[in-house]
Amino acid sequence: MAKHLSLKDIDIFVQLIDAWEGKITWESLCEEGEKLVGFRPTRQTLNAHKKIKAAYLSRKENLKAGFTPSKRPASLAIAEQRIHRLENTNIRLEKENERLLIQFVRWQYNAYKHGMSKEMLDAPLPPIDRDSSEKP
């Protein structure tokens, strides 16, 4: 049975995708990920996580757009890689933010539809009683 990915593993794969150079496939992503997380996930395991899938599809889309790194001295090449990784991360986060805004509007409408007021939605969370099992 395939091992489940932790939140840390998911973040590792997203960062790996953001920094990816050249053609990306699920198979190559599984191989590179194995070196970082200590086990080889399946393509289906990676595809099942929205965050990884969104980063993968975004990266594929960027590669189709035609980014080609130019020949530079080592220090500039490192800077170019960092800039490229940061640009990919920025694009992915912008798309994720857009999805979250759409989700928020849907939740806002559903709350209104079910009669929830702004005051009910803005009510503070109840305090956490961590000593409940240790009371005398």
Nearest to 22 by CA among 75, 49, 76, 62: 62
Q: Give me the percent of the chain exceeding a pLDDT of 70.
A: 89
pTM of the model: 0.58
Number of domains in the chain: 1
Range of the domain at 44: 7-114
Nearest to 57 by CA among 20, 83, 6: 20
Q: What is the pLDDT of residues 24-65, one digit of tens each?
A: 999 999 999 999 999 999 999 999 999 999 999 988 888 888
Residue 136 in domain: no
For the segment 92-119, the average pLDDT, to the nearest whole number, is 93
Mean pLDDT across the chain: 86
Residue 103 in domain: yes
Residue 81 in domain: yes
| pLDDT band, residue 133 (cuts 50/70/90) | low
For the segment 55-76, the average pLDDT, to the nearest whole number, is 77
Residue 78 in domain: yes
| pLDDT band, residue 136 (cuts 50/70/90) | low
- In the predicted structure, residue 66 carries a pLDDT above the cut 80: no
| pLDDT band, residue 97 (cuts 50/70/90) | very high
Residue 50 in domain: yes
The pLDDT value recorded for residue 9 is 92
The pLDDT value recorded for residue 113 is 93
Residue 2 in domain: no
Residue 121 in domain: no
Give the list of residues 6+ apart from residue 41 with CB closer than 8 angstroms, or none.
2, 3, 5, 9, 30, 33, 34
Residue 131 in domain: no
